[in-house]
Chains A and B, each alone.
Chain A
Amino acid sequence: MNRKNRYNFAFIDEDAKREIRRKILKAVAIPGYQVPFASRELPIARGWGTGGLQVTLALIGPTDCLKVIDQGCDDSVNAVNIKHFVQSVTNVKITTDTTKATLIQTRHRIPEEPMNENQILVLQVPIPEALRNVEPSERQTRRMHAEGDYTRLWLYLYEDIVKYGDVSIGARYPVLVNGRYIMDPSPIPRWDIPKLHMAETLFIFSAGREKRIYAIPPYTDVKPLEFEDYKFCVEDFKGKQCARCGSKGVFLDEIIDDETGKRIYVCSDTGYCHKVASKSKRKNAISQNYQYKTAGSAG
């Protein structure tokens, strides 16, 4: 039997897709609000990107071009398997180039290259509730969101500042969306938080295990929580650059070389790093070729 005919296009049935699309529409209509949805069973385990995958499958069309990244990496096990699965049930094009992709599914990073209005970024979310650290009860967190009662989260930041001199949250930094709902931006680093503000792209966050979808529509006000005298700041990479492509002003991963024990930094976004590296390689090759030719003609 042909593999293509074994499943519906994009694996999940049309009713399920419709349900997810409706929930996405609601999430877009109320920026930052967590919309419950009937999360389906998928051939990957809960907590491995089932939320993001369901949104991807509900949105993808035959002409789409898909990119999947896992903490910025195009070639991690999670990203490769999701890409392989989506391609087997849709036969869409797969790319590692952010600018070429129409649909990007990501885990814990936003690509370095700026995205446009024709692209959708789907983020996998492990814990959608931004208030979970301060309130274990779902009923209470729903009440707190409804009433805009975010005192306890602010208090959490205050206590952090008093204890450590600054807010110690690295990833999952809470943001206020459209001046109304506080939202968990999934465990993206602080570096990526400013990219959410007034972005051209639609961001859809989906948690399969927790059965929640929420979104940031294009051109939406997204502000990280900050006190007047303790402002939000991103990770500091001053004086550091990627050891592979030489990029500066990008989010870098720190790697310790086993042999030399040296600390090196490389781009977290591998697609971007590869693009920059191959461009500079080509540039070098062209200039070398030019030098060779000019040397040859002179000879």
Chain B
Amino acid sequence: MTNNIYNPYLIREDEKLKGLTEPYVSIQNLTKIFGPSCPMCIEQTGPEHETNKCCTCGSIVALRKISIELYPNEILGIIGESGSGKSTLVRLLHFDMDVTYGEMYLDPLILCQEVIDHTKKDIFTLSAFEKRKIRNKLIGIVYQNPYMGLKMDISCGGNIAEKLIEYGWRNVNAIRTRAMELLNRTEVPIDRIDHSPKTFSGGMQQRVQIAKALSTNPKILLLDEVTTGLDLSVQAKVLDLIKKIQEKLKITMIVVSHDLGVIRLLATRTVVMKYGTIVEAGLTDQILEDPQHPYTQLLVNSQL
């Protein structure tokens, strides 16, 4: 294993060659049903029925045939009320759970040979081992709840080390140097590298999560309501950090939030979800300034 010297600009050469026109990630008909599921599940749920619970079998249809494309260097915002399927979508993309059905294709250039051979294969059909490999190499995630993303019984440096070790790093000093560099970048005091994250404030825990997610130079960063539960000044700091990281590293991001302010600040393109379905999608300015769907209009109008 080679411990790559951290150079965020190095990995962007492929995109220059490509002309940034092809989507990085293409998701088609993504569906997730919690419960036994029946043939009526899709028909009996969705915004038109005002429910995502199937009245025949009682299953919860968290996502209904979602199709999204994610382009290089963009920040895609996903907005919707609680229970609309935003977090489920992000967790499916991080392979935290299995999809009911649907397909996901990655751009062959980012799915380079060293990650995996199957360049034109539906990613969801790969083995758990291969999915883990893709996740380690290409995807970083920041959860709403730091307890999901961090292990509180190990040190802050250990949490970052986990991802690096999973990636193949086997040099303690190199791991610590990299962890310090990331903590510095995410404005976490370096002298707290050996402290448990449970002794950190909420904002600091989120920053440690971001540092962990960035440790292996992922191509895609998933942010699942990162500012929820934080006070306004800390929220501003975290958002500022995400913005800086995106500007500097040009990472493709999916930002999930129910806060329109966060989406307005970060996202270039936005998707509005309700009852597991995309009800409206477009450029963020367009969505927020001229909403077409009644639910989006309600969301925008209810903004304080």
Contact = CB atoms under 8 A, between A and B. Distances in A.
B264 to A, nearest CB: 38
B154 A151 contact: no
Interface string B131-158: 0100000000000000000000011011
Nearest to A158: B161
Given A147-B132, A149-B132, A155-B165, A162 B194 contact: yes
B172 interface: yes
B128 A143 contact: yes
Quick one: which of B155, B157, B165, B176 has the most chain A CB within 10 A? B165
A169 B171 CA distance: 19
Tell me the interface secondary structure of chain B in the complex.
helix
A236 interface: no
Contacts, number: 45
Given A151-B162, A229-B172, A159 B155 contact: yes
A143 B154 CA distance: 22
Interface size on B, as a range, is 10 to 19
Tell me the dominant secondary structure on chain A's binding face.
helix
B84 to A, nearest CB: 31
A159 B171 CA distance: 13
B171 A227 contact: yes
Contact of A228 (B161, B166, B170): B170
Interface in B83-102: none
A161 B155 contact: no
Contacts of A152: 162
Nearest to B163: A151
Interface string B32-67: 000000000000000000000000000000000000
Nearest to A147: B129
Contacts of A227: 170-172
B175 interface: yes
A230 B129 contact: no
Interface of A: 143, 146-149, 151-152, 154-155, 158-159, 161-163, 227-230
Interface of B: 128-129, 132, 154-155, 157-158, 161-162, 165-166, 170-173, 175-176, 194
15 contacts: A143-B128, A149-B166, A155-B161, A155-B165, A158-B165, A158-B172, A158-B175, A159-B154, A159-B155, A159-B158, A162-B155, A162-B172, A227-B170, A228-B170, A230-B172
Given A149-B129, A227-B170, 4 more contacts: A147-B129, A149-B166, A162-B176, A162-B194
